[in-house]
Structure 1
Amino acid sequence: MPLVLQAALAWAAGTALGLSRVQAGVVFGAALLLGVWLVWRVIALPGDRMERLEGTAGLALLFAVALGVGADLARRDAHCEATARTARSWRVQLRREAVPGGFATGLIADAGCHVRVAIAVRVGNAVAGSVVRVTRAEASVGERGLLLRDAVLEPASPPSALHRWRNRVSAAIDRRFGADAGLAKALLIADTDGLTPDLRDRYADAGLVHILSISGLHVGIIGAALLLFVEAARLPATAGRIGAVLVVGIYVLAIGAPAAAVRSAALFTAVTATRLLQRPTSPWATYAIAALVPLAQPRTALDLGWQLSVSGYAGLIAAGRLARRSRWTGWRGALLRELMAGALTTAATAPLVAWHFGRLSLVAIVSNLGAGPVVAVLQPTLFLAMLAPGDALGRFVADAARPMLRALDAVAALAAAVPGGAVDVAPTLAMVTVASCTAALVIVAAVARHWGPWAIAAGAGIAVMAWAPDVPTRSTGRLEVHVLDVGQGDAIALRTPAGRWVLVDAGRSWSSGDAGRTTIIPYLRRRGGVLALFVLTHPHADHVGGAASVIEALRPALVRDAAFVAASPAYAAMLASARRRGGQWSRVVPGERVSLDGVALTFLAPDSAWTAGLDDPNEASTILRVEYGARSLLLTGDAEAGLEQWLLGHAIEQLDVDLLKVAHHGSSTSSTPAFLDAVSPRLGLVSVGRDNSYGHPSPDVMRRLLDAGATVLRTDQLGTLVLRTDGQVWEAEVAGQRWPLRDEPAPLP
């Protein structure tokens, strides 16, 4: 193993541990493992022992320095967070567009600070990349930065030239690619905001989720295409290669220099330099140099994109070493190399994917084999479509890229549809540690001359993971409310203090799946605990679509249904599943009260006399009041103005709550002023799909909620929303932030 690679490992490990603000026991454990490795390095490796001892001491010193650098940065960030919390105004550079009623993210713009900020905007507009002055906001520090609620934004400075270029390119991609713009922007400029939840799920199940964000793969393909162009055009080799390096560097800088892309650009530069200088070197050495370059910003050690990039490329190098031992040639050899590359990169990145995404794809090896050639042609074509002068030429090149976009999506859909092709996992920290060590052993076994002992050790790690006992669900003493991001639909999961679940609605379905299978079941299983009660508010497809899958897999003991009969295949499937799985099904009756682990659930509607004359299932929605201690929540399904008026006349004393699940995805047909006045929510939760065709949520409804003093949180902007209470205080977890909910609404400035 080259010394530069060992140095890179020591620096990255020390920096990551220092930045993580981990407990002393974790640092001690990591230091112990490092110490064992260093002792083994001195005793077991061949060569001069004194020379090895000196090298080992240098690596230990490098690890200690990196640990100190990381810890110092963590202390500085904590100080910046504490200072920012007590400030009266903040200068923030926005990462996404800010609009009233929306949620924007950014970074504190003061020099020397690196504090992430999430802003719940009440007044003001600003484009991505601009610097704004945030005033009249309530600040709180969460686990991942600062949250500013009820904020007023004032422009401070326009976006930089790079940000303006990025915004213009984003708009040009929208014009040139139309309905395919979301996927094109993800592949070209690392903008994943336009990707729908079902598309993300499809690529995750297929093991192709890494393709949806700029990584070493994308940059490497563009670099290879540029070198191919240099050769085809018979340009001077030296000047052409230097030009290709410059183009790749400018491109990576222009898209915001994500860590994975910087690593790939550094690798491309290093490999090109060795060829120009005719000085071949170990692939592990260039790999280590490329991995270290992004760590000039030490915080990169905690960046998931960088971690996946360096892990995956280690698998590629190991696959190349292993393939060279094979005697197969021709198409068999090429196929073997591709399969080895897919297997080892999947193994190397599996612990990270399992920990962050809760899912492992068993078809990833084959799906990447099919997607690789498509992306190899697609990526340069997209790059040309982005650079083409004029929309006419740009649309022409974009049209040429569309068949390949369709082909890539077809590969993902086919792989995702394989029964059992994706496995939902919920690893503990201990299991992820074991998995990471096992992945490292697999890589070492692939490159080692005497691979037997390493393979046996890797097999032992796999056995430990396979037979590890399940971790029992622990009582938290708190009620949790999870508004799941299921796109245009509803799925609200309540977790009792004892760890049992109540699920209200199950999202939508589509031709190849449903939200129950792709989102809800993995989410609940990852966190543990049984499903005690399933409640269906009404039989529209965006609420009942995943219900059959949920009931089949999780088998709730109780099922409550508004029982508004509808000729819906999804509703019929839900009833059949409830009957087959033995759950106690019954119709919702106003006034019925269910108590679970100290949580009181009271059904307020629908009333049979009210629903008898209705033809709209929305107006027959189940209305559920949830109470725990002194705190309360109102779930309203798709209730419209008529049902809201009925509630005002029959259950007004039950409507005053802290949290409101805004009815009908924020539609203008709901959330009337009289109803909001009776509810007086502190927080409005909107479950809605990004860029949906219905125009939800209504700007008028968002303004009414803001005027009522409610902070609005939306799944289309923030993903899944999590609220927790001990019965006295609500705590929200939004966009990586955790903050307490105040008791009184703030006045509108």
Structure 2
Amino acid sequence: MDLNNIIIFVSAAFAAGIWYSGLYSWHVSMLCALAVLLLLVALWRVHRNCRQSFWPIIGLFFIAGILYYQQNVMVRSDDISQYVGQNVSVEGVIDTIPETTELNAQSRLARYIVNVEKVKPERADLLVRASGKVRVSVLYKEKFKPAAYGDRITVHGKVLELHGYNNPGQIDMTVALKRQNITARMSVQSHNLAVVSSKTLHSWRVALADWQDRIVNALQKVMPVNDAAILTAVLFGGYQGINKNVINDFTTTGLIHILSVSGSHIALVAGLTRWLGNRLKLGSLPTVTLAGLAVILYAVISGLTPPVIRSAVMGLISLLAVVIGRESYAPAALSLTALGMLVYQPMLLYDISFQLSFGATAGLVFLYQPTLKYMTKLPLWLAGPLAVTLSAQVVVLPLIVWHFNSFSLISFAANLIVLPIVELVIVLGLAGVILYTVVPVIGNIVFVVSSLLIGLVIILTALLASLPGSTIYIPSVGIAGSVMYYLLLAWIYGWRPFNIPGPRGLIVNWPRQCAIIATLVICSVLIYIWYPRPMSVHFIDVGQGDAALIITPHGKAVLVDTGGSFDSSSFDVGERVVAPYLKHYGVTVVDYLILTHGHQDHAGGAAGVAANIRVNKVMLARETYSTAVQALLHTRPVPTVIPTYTGQNFQIDGVAFNIEQAVDNNNRQPATGNEVSSVVRVSYGQHSFLITGDLEAHGEEELLAKKVNPCTVLKVGHHGARTSSTPAFLQAVSPKFAVISAGYNNRFGHPHPETLKRLADIHTIVYRTDQQGAIVFKSDGKHMEIETYIK
């Protein structure tokens, strides 16, 4: 086996060890013993000149990946996360340039990443050494000058655990922070932070940030804000300030990667520099050297973020292969780069950017030439771009499906029509930045031209995104399905184990058998799709809020509440949490959206859900419409609105939905607040679920007066507040299981200990989204199965 393949297999084995270690735990002693055994076998085979010594070495790298991952995720004894739940004083140095957000005219939010050096617990007298990084959010209610990068500060407050939304089908932001060695967080007022010593570091990061700010200000002076935000994104990365509709259009057309500096940007810079060098007849070595310098300069200008570093390293290795005349080493170079980055940070394997960038690059390295050969009948100007797009997309398709459950069919056309214009915008933008630094007037002229091209790009992407069928939904296929997909892909591209003929050979030699097998596969898929499954009720982790998804045996969906953010954050729970959850479970249409009432923590995500997933009917309490409900009613297409009333019911696939109680708004004063919460009962076979919104004691008394029936599962009212779940009500409904939907470490103290005691007194088994994440009940009408995201 040649060196190329050895490097590829070694890197793959190390990555597989990291992945396997993330799934299963192994005793270190057992792993070490196995590693020693493999090492002895490898040495013995090398001594005997046995060619099979390769496989024990591969096994060693697999075990190395397991051990390295386990060592990396271990938390040091002096890490700041060891003080979670305690009030402490933290002393450290601000490690990155602070981010500030304007909440309103009177308040600002500053976010710092603090490299912790010392900690003083509340009852201790002295500071003790500590390690790790803490993310500190500071609320300022007056004009302020935030602490600067490099300042030594002290922060007093409670250390909080990193905690995200624990649902399947979502990017785990907690893990993303831990990859940066951020292991805890703090949220304090401005008077709890003090600058010990101001040490304005003369760092290239500070200088670069100041220079980027000047460029952004220059862009905003000569072009519309949205155009300036897009040009800033393609030059420096980030989506700040870009219109949400534009981002959606770029996502739909498969061009969203253009809005963050990636391998395509690096390749463009390197290719353009090499073209310029060839035109000037500089020679091979000076041209490649100039291209390498251009790549390094562009990476520095873009901020040397991890994705940029990955792309730059790959670009430099590719240029080095050109210099030494070893382009055939590209697969080994790609593998070696991946191995080096995983050694630096093994948790990168779970990073979506890492997966997509290396997957797409692997597609170009391994599949571009074979794909181009398949397109010999097409003109070269069309075959080349199509081969690039197809070879990259087919490799990352399972990753895209797992993370997004959608695939852009229009991406091929977008890459042919829009991408060349975007590349011209990048080139002009870089030229404008350089010219503006030297001659601002000429730079401004280039920026204006770029703005006109950006306007054309926005029009074209909106047009392509609006075409019917521009994106299709694809369900997640899991690990087994992904393995089968890659085996099939390898077979199509020439992998022929056991002398199996290729696709064309099979069809030519055994047409009848192929037709029978294809028919059987199609019939099996159709039967699988239409065969009824157990009814499932999902209580989604939306933080301090409520959201319940009911999926009927034939896949119809009813959503009760959507969660929502309390603060003025731009984070949309409906768009970022609930909609991805629904897509992960194959929900592309919500037949009924029932909002128990209009409070932000129940309806705040409704508009975000409706903007991403079609909602046919909305059932609303008869109350004054809140801002959240009004936003829902302004989405397109406008869903049918049905006011709720007591006794209202409907049935889907044998699952019965009944409104047990709803406000009767015949009074002069419009109804608002928790007391208007509709109570929804979901029944299937022998089991029923009672979803009570924010129902409090008075509402429970009204429900008791109507002789409420028992239920199997109770969604506890008002997130487990003391003012809900009275003893009389709990005795009447006598649930076997109870679900409390509450935010982790929420400021309201939900669920209240008294509520938990009342549930314990009637021997109800309690599940909590703040502790177990998403909670799923599955029933065939007789039996009940319960799954939690956090075991």
Match of 1:406 among 447, 455, 472: 455
In the alignment, structure 1 segments of 5+ residues that lack a partner are 43-48, 484-491, 508-513, 580-584, 612-618, 636-653, 660-681, 686-704, 711-724, 735-739, 741-749
Q: Structure 2 CA distance, aligned partners of 1:79 and 1:20?
A: 28
Aligned AA (2:370): L
Q: Which residue of 2 aligns with 1:308?
A: 356
SS at match of 2:99: coil
| Bigger relative contact order, structure 1 or 2 (CA pairs below 8 A, ≥6 apart) | 1
1:515-554 equivalences in 2 (<5 Å): 523-527=581-585, 533-535=593-595, 537=598, 553=615
Aligned AA (2:138): V
Residues 629, 727 of structure 1: 8 Å contact kept: no
Aligned AA (2:594): F
TM-score (ref. length: structure 2): 0.61
Q: Which residue of 1 aligns with 2:219?
A: 177
What's the CA shift string for 1:550-604, capped at 9, x where partnerless? 9964556x444548799x999599998537xxxxx22689xx999x999999878
Q: Which residue of 2 aligns with 1:18?
A: 18
Aligned AA (2:90): S
What's the CA shift string for 1:288-308, capped at 9, x where partnerless? 344344345233333321211
The alpha-carbon distance between structure 1 residues 354 and 493, as it changes in their structure 2 partners (threshold 3 A), is farther
Q: Which residue of 2 aligns with 1:394?
A: 443
Q: CA deviation at 1:245?
A: 0.8
1:199-238 equivalences in 2 (<5 Å): 199-235=246-282, 237-238=284-285
Q: Which residue of 1 aligns with 2:643?
A: 586
Q: Structure 1 CA distance, aligned partners of 2:772 and 2:146?
A: 25
Aligned AA (2:156): T
Residues 157, 187 of structure 2: 8 Å contact kept: yes
In the alignment, structure 2 segments of 5+ residues that lack a partner are 43-47, 102-106, 119-128, 164-173, 508-516, 552-556, 566-571, 680-688, 697-716, 723-741, 751-764, 775-789
Aligned AA (1:502): V
The alpha-carbon distance between structure 1 residues 173 and 438, as it changes in their structure 2 partners (threshold 3 A), is farther
The alpha-carbon distance between structure 1 residues 466 and 332, as it changes in their structure 2 partners (threshold 3 A), is farther
Q: CA deviation at 1:442?
A: 1.5
Q: Which residue of 2 aligns with 1:163?
A: 205
Q: Structure 1 CA distance, aligned partners of 2:162 and 2:260?
A: 29
What's the CA shift string for 1:238-274, capped at 9, x where partnerless? 3343132123123324434334433332233233233
Q: CA deviation at 1:130?
A: 5.1
Residues 548, 562 of structure 2: 8 Å contact kept: no
SS at match of 1:418: coil
Q: Structure 2 CA distance, aligned partners of 1:351 and 1:625?
A: 42
What's the CA shift string for 1:335-394, capped at 9, x where partnerless? 123223222311211222222233222222222232332233222222223333154333
The alpha-carbon distance between structure 1 residues 315 and 121, as it changes in their structure 2 partners (threshold 3 A), is same
SS at match of 1:310: helix
Residues 128, 163 of structure 1: 8 Å contact kept: no
Q: CA deviation at 1:217?
A: 0.6
The alpha-carbon distance between structure 1 residues 207 and 171, as it changes in their structure 2 partners (threshold 3 A), is same
SS at match of 1:325: helix
Which of structures 1 and 2 has the bigger CA Rg? 2
Residues 20, 74 of structure 1: 8 Å contact kept: no
The alpha-carbon distance between structure 1 residues 493 and 105, as it changes in their structure 2 partners (threshold 3 A), is farther
Q: Structure 1 CA distance, aligned partners of 2:133 and 2:526?
A: 38
Q: Structure 1 CA distance, aligned partners of 2:502 and 2:78?
A: 45
Residues 111, 137 of structure 2: 8 Å contact kept: yes
Q: CA deviation at 1:630?
A: 14
What's the CA shift string for 1:651-707, capped at 9, x where partnerless? xxx999979xxxxxxxxxxxxxxxxxxxxxx9899xxxxxxxxxxxxxxxxxxx99x
Aligned AA (2:289): I
Q: Which residue of 2 aligns with 1:93?
A: 95
What's the CA shift string for 1:447-485, capped at 9, x where partnerless? 54889667699x999979887669856556x674469xx
Q: Which residue of 2 aligns with 1:501?
A: 559
SS at match of 1:419: coil
Q: What is the Cα-based RMSD across aligned positions, in Å? A: 5.8
Q: Structure 2 CA distance, aligned partners of 1:114 and 1:601?
A: 54
Q: CA deviation at 1:398?
A: 1.5
Q: Structure 2 CA distance, aligned partners of 1:684 and 1:25?
A: 27
Q: Structure 1 CA distance, aligned partners of 2:678 and 2:78?
A: 39
Aligned AA (1:578): T
Aligned AA (2:669): W
The alpha-carbon distance between structure 1 residues 544 and 522, as it changes in their structure 2 partners (threshold 3 A), is closer
1:243-282 equivalences in 2 (<5 Å): 243-282=290-329
Q: Does 1:336 align with 2:383?
A: yes
Q: Structure 1 CA distance, aligned partners of 2:536 and 2:718?
A: 32
Q: CA deviation at 1:73?
A: 1.0
Aligned AA (1:609): R
Residues 97, 128 of structure 1: 8 Å contact kept: no
Residues 252, 470 of structure 2: 8 Å contact kept: yes
The alpha-carbon distance between structure 1 residues 655 and 445, as it changes in their structure 2 partners (threshold 3 A), is closer
SS at match of 1:136: strand
Aligned AA (2:71): D
Match of 1:291 among 338, 351, 356: 338
Q: Structure 2 CA distance, aligned partners of 1:364 and 1:575?
A: 24
Q: Structure 2 CA distance, aligned partners of 1:494 and 1:196?
A: 27
Q: Which residue of 2 aligns with 1:417?
A: 466
What's the CA shift string for 1:51-71, capped at 9, x where partnerless? 641222222222222322222
Residues 95, 114 of structure 2: 8 Å contact kept: yes
Q: CA deviation at 1:221?
A: 0.5
Q: Which residue of 1 aligns with 2:66?
A: 67
Q: Which residue of 1 aligns with 2:701?
A: none
Identity score, percent: 15
TM-score (ref. length: structure 1): 0.64
Q: Structure 2 CA distance, aligned partners of 1:69 and 1:306?
A: 18
SS at match of 2:261: coil
The alpha-carbon distance between structure 1 residues 623 and 198, as it changes in their structure 2 partners (threshold 3 A), is farther
Aligned AA (1:586): P
The alpha-carbon distance between structure 1 residues 225 and 587, as it changes in their structure 2 partners (threshold 3 A), is same
Count residues in correspondence. 609
SS at match of 1:360: strand
Match of 2:138 among 107, 112, 121: 121
Q: Structure 1 CA distance, aligned partners of 2:246 and 2:625?
A: 32
The alpha-carbon distance between structure 1 residues 12 and 110, as it changes in their structure 2 partners (threshold 3 A), is farther
Larger deviation, residues 253-262 vs 447-456: 447-456
SS at match of 2:469: coil
Q: Structure 2 CA distance, aligned partners of 1:559 and 1:438?
A: 44
Q: Which residue of 2 aligns with 1:102?
A: 109
Q: Which residue of 1 aligns with 2:706?
A: none
The alpha-carbon distance between structure 1 residues 393 and 327, as it changes in their structure 2 partners (threshold 3 A), is closer
The alpha-carbon distance between structure 1 residues 74 and 323, as it changes in their structure 2 partners (threshold 3 A), is same
